Amino acid sequence: MYSTGDIADLKSQKTRCILAWLVPEALLIGLVIFSFVRRIQWLTASLFALLGCVILFSLSFYVLPLARYQKHLERALFGRQRRSVLAFQSAEDKTVIREGVVFVPVRMTAGSPQEPMDDRQLYWDANLPLPAWQAGDRLVIHSHEKAITRWEPAGVNEALDG
């Protein structure tokens, strides 16, 4: 699912995004300095407010989502992994945001499908296409916290973890 190349691509994308937003921010800083030196009080205040809005906008909508997704990928590749043999039950239609990353909730069971105590909710990365799993498919799931990082079909002799 993930590779170290994905992290490198994401880092370069984040760098390009930061550099793209630094140009208008540097221009606004230059205008703030110019208006401060020329003592144009109303222009300094309005440009400074505009600069703050541009910085907040660029961070909130462009830089931080990339940084959060990069952190997710690093944790998925290098963090502690849990291996479980589970049976797929269903995937929800709506997405959720966990730690700044968009996921699709996936319900799986570790035992009998009739026993709700064995149900587990994991999260599939919404940026990746959801596999064509059918209800009852037995899968070997590798996860970090509750995010699925890898999967493969379970072997015939592998029992569910429930």
| pLDDT, tens digit (0-9, with 9 covering 90-100), for 109-126 | 987 766 767 789 999 999
Q: In 3-state terms, what secondary structure has residue 90?
A: strand
What would the pLDDT profile of 138-162 be if each residue is shown by its tens digit? 999 999 999 999 999 998 888 877 6
- Cα dihedral 151, 153, 157, 162 sign: positive
Report the alpha-carbon distance of residue 162 to residue 151 in Å, rounded.
Answer: 18
Report yes or no: 142 and 82 within 8 Å, Cβ to Cβ: yes
pTM of the full structure: 0.85
